[in-house]
Structure 1
C-alpha cells in the first residue's frame, strides 16, 4: 500500500516515455486527482447548525454522507491500482529499449467504469444510475433532496440526574451534502463519459488484437506511409506481443528513425527466411 501511495507522485509528473494511452490516463490521472480533490474539500467543509425540515412527516435514515470523503479516497485507489500494476509489470522495459535511441506486457487493465457506477448506486441507495438525468429534468423540487438532505433530525443521548438516559431531538444542517450533491453530479457525467470512452478503447484493442490488417494500417501510419507490402511482411512475421512493443516504440520515437527501424526489421525478416513470400514494394495485397 505504501508503494501505491508513493507512486501517486507520477500523477503530476510529465512523462518523457509514454507507456500507456490517453484513455488510461483519464482513469488514473484525471479521475484520481478529481476524487482526491473532492475528498479534501469534504474533509474541510463541516459546519453544524440548525434549520427547518422540508417535510417533518417523512422519515428517511441515511448515513452514507458521513463516509463520502473516505469512499472517494478508496475509489481513487481503485482507479489508480491498474496503473500501479502496469508500472510494476512493465518495469521500465520500454524506457530501457529507447535509452540508446532517444533522449509491456499488457496494454492496460481496462477499468470497469460500469462497476464504479454500480458501486455508487449501491452507496446512495439506488439513486446514482439515473442521477444526472433526474437532476437535469426537475423543475421546482430538487429530486436529490431525498438523497442528500440539507436538514436532518439529530438525536442526542444524555444521562439525567438519576442516571437514566434521556433523548433530546434537534435539527441539524448538513452543509456537506450541498457539496456532495454537486460532486456526485460531476462524477455521474464523468463516469458515464469514461464508460463510453473505455468502450471505444475496448473496440480499438479488439481490432488491434484480432485484425492483422488494422495492425498494418497502424504501422504505416506511424512510419508515415511505409510501403503496404513491406508493412504486411513485418506484421506477418512477428507475434502480437512483439508488435505491441514495436508500436509502443513508435509512440516515443521520431517517425524518420522509426521508419528506418521498421525497414531494418523488414530486411532482416526477408534475409532470414528466404522462402517467405515478401510482398513487393507498392503492392496493395494484404
Structure 2
C-alpha cells in the first residue's frame, strides 16, 4: 500500500522557509494530500476489490454485465428504504422496479469520484500557488543564513547590517506582500465553501446534512438496517439490461449489483464532511485574526514578540510605528524564520538605523528652513 502514496511524500515534507501559517498549510498541504490519497484509494482495485459486481443472468457474461451497469449507472427504489429486510425487501433501497409506484433514484457519482477528488485537490492548491508567485522567494533571499543559531561573528554582523539596511530603505514598500497574503487566505476560505457546495451538488444535495444525519443515527445494531450512509452510498443497487431474445424480441433483465466501492466512499465522505466543516471554522477565525492585525498595533507587536521573547515590546512598537502593515508582515515572516537571538540583534540594528534616518531627515528639514529664512 505504501507504494501508492510515495508520490505524495513531497507535499508533506517540512519546508525550511516558512511564508505562511498552519491554517494555510492545512489547505494546500494536508487537504491536498488527503484528497489525492482518497483518489488513489478508490481506484486501487487490488486492495479494495472490484468496484461493482452484478448477479449474472442466463448467458450474459459477468464482466459484460458489470461493465454495462458501471457505465450506465444503477438505481435504488426510493419507497423501499425503510422496509423490513428479508420480509418486505431484500435490501434497503432494493425492490421490484416493475411496480407503478417504484420511483427510481439513479446513482452515477461513483464513476467520477476519483476524478472529482483530483480536481478538488487542484483547487485547494491554487491559492498557495498564487501566494507563492506574489512572494517570489523574498523571505528565503532575505534570511542570509541568519536562521542558523551559530554563525561566524564577522558574517553575522555583516548579514545583520545588510538586512537591516535593506529593511530601513524599503520601509513602507511591502503593502502588496501583505494584501497578497490576505487575498490568498480569503481565497482559501471561499474555496472550501465552494468545494462544499460542489460536493453537495455532486452527491445530489445530500452532503451538507450528511454528517449531522450520521451523528443523529443511533441504530447501528444490524448492518442491513436503513441508515444515512447506506442511502447516500448504497452497497446493493439495481440495474436493467436489455438484449434481443431468440425471437428477435427485446428482453429485459432486472438484476442486483453489489457496490464494494461504496463501503470506502461512505467513510471517505464522512471524513471529508468533518474535515471541510472544521477547515471552514478555522479559516473564518484566521480571516478575523488578520482583520485584528490591520486594526491594532498591539496585536502586531504581540505576534512578533511571541517569535522573539528576548526583544522588548516597546522596541518592536517603536519600529512598527514608523512603517505600515506591510512592514509588520515582512518582519513577522522574518521572525518565524530567523533564529530568535539573531532576530533580536537585527531589530536593534533596524531601530537604530530608523532613528538615525529620522534624525537625519529632521536636520535636513531644519537646514532647509534656515536657508529659506536667510534668502528671505
- TM-score class normalised by the smaller sequence: 0.7 to 0.9
Aligned mate of 1:253, from 338, 341, 344: 338
User: 1:159-174 counterparts in 2 under 5 A?
Assistant: 159-160=244-245, 166-174=251-259
Which structure's CA Rg is the greater one?
2
Aligned to 1:147: 232
Distance of 1:276 and 1:156 partners within structure 2: 87
Distance of 2:16 and 2:321 partners within structure 1: 31
TM-superposed CA distance for 1:185, in Å, is 0.3
Distance 1:174 1:8, change over 3 A: closer
Distance 1:41 1:268, change over 3 A: same
What per-residue deviation string (whole Å, max 9, x for no partner) do you get for residues 11-30 of structure 1?
A: 13321111111111111111
Distance 1:197 1:179, change over 3 A: same
Question: Whose relative contact order is higher, 1 or 2, with alpha carbons under 8 Å and at least 6 apart?
Answer: 2
Question: For this pair of structures, how many residues does the alignment match?
Answer: 271
What per-residue deviation string (whole Å, max 9, x for no partner) do you get for residues 221-259 of structure 1?
A: 333153333322211111211221111010011111111
Aligned to 2:146: 101
* Structure 2 residue matching 1:107: 3-state secondary structure: helix
Aligned to 1:49: 53
Q: Which runs of 5+ in 1 are unaligned?
A: 1-6, 278-286
2:115 equivalent to 1:36 = no
TM-superposed CA distance for 1:146, in Å, is 1.9
Aligned to 2:369: none
Q: What TM-score does the superposition give when structure 2 sets the normalisation length?
A: 0.66
Q: Which runs of 5+ in 2 are unaligned?
A: 1-6, 56-89, 96-101, 149-176, 220-225, 363-376
Aligned to 2:210: 131
Aligned to 2:64: none
Aligned to 1:263: 348
Aligned to 1:233: 318
TM-superposed CA distance for 1:129, in Å, is 1.0
* Structure 1 residue matching 2:336: 3-state secondary structure: helix
2:202 equivalent to 1:157 = no
* Structure 1 residue matching 2:232: 3-state secondary structure: coil
Aligned to 1:283: none
TM-superposed CA distance for 1:275, in Å, is 8.9
Preserved CA contact (<8 Å) 1:219 1:226: no
RMSD: 2.5
* Structure 1 residue matching 2:243: 3-state secondary structure: strand
Preserved CA contact (<8 Å) 2:146 2:339: no
Aligned to 1:86: 131
Aligned to 2:197: 118
Distance of 1:231 and 1:90 partners within structure 2: 23
Per mean C-alpha deviation after superposition, the further-off stretch among 93-102 and 104-113 is: 104-113
Moved over 6 A (4+): none
2:242 equivalent to 1:197 = no
Aligned to 1:280: none
Preserved CA contact (<8 Å) 2:310 2:341: no
Distance of 2:237 and 2:116 partners within structure 1: 21
TM-superposed CA distance for 1:159, in Å, is 4.1
Per mean C-alpha deviation after superposition, the further-off stretch among 50-59 and 90-99 is: 50-59
Distance of 1:217 and 1:47 partners within structure 2: 54
* Structure 2 residue matching 1:237: 3-state secondary structure: coil
* Structure 1 residue matching 2:121: 3-state secondary structure: helix
Distance of 1:114 and 1:163 partners within structure 2: 54
